[in-house]
Amino acid sequence: MNIRKVNQILTAFADSHRLRIINLLNEKELNVAEICQILHSTQPNISKHLTRLRLTGIVRDKRKGRYAYYYLIKPGNKFYKQLLSSITEELGDLEIFKKDIERLRKIERELEINKD
């Protein structure tokens, strides 16, 4: 890894929306609409943050039907692994992260109810 890549990763982690997205994607892969609903944000705003995370190599997407689902890349080097661990484990106790996960679980429950 070179200094430019380190700078890209640190810059990507230097935004609260991107940290929240990383926290959510650590739980499961999600599409833009789901992330927008959980974070109470707009599609253009979330797409902008996902593009930044994707270009940095932190997130990838895959198509399922007409939706793109985003997921975290498993860290390949020690530096990135430690940063990701700090966000997903150490910062997981932040109130805003907890609320985001609660909203994710609520959406999952609603989807299960609507399936039946």
Structure tokens at 15: 């935004």
3 in Cβ contact with 10 (< 8 Å):
no
Closest of 116, 113, 111, 114 to residue 28, by C-alpha: 111
pLDDT in tens, 43-75: 999 999 999 999 988 899 999 999 999 999 987
Say what percent of the chain tops pLDDT 90.
61
**Residues sharing a CB contact under 8 Å with residue 69, sequence separation 6 or more, in sequence order:** 29, 30, 31, 61, 62, 63
On average, the pLDDT of the chain sits at 91
Whether domain 3-115 has CATH 1.10.10.10: yes
Structure tokens at 9: 């990763």
- Specify the residue for token string 């640190």: 10
pLDDT for the residue 74: 83
pLDDT for the residue 8: 85
Sheet arrangement for strand 59-64 = 30-31, 67-72, 59-64
Distance CA 74, CA 48 (A): 22
The ranges assigned to domains in the chain are 3-115
**CA of residue 76 relative to chain centroid, distance:** 18
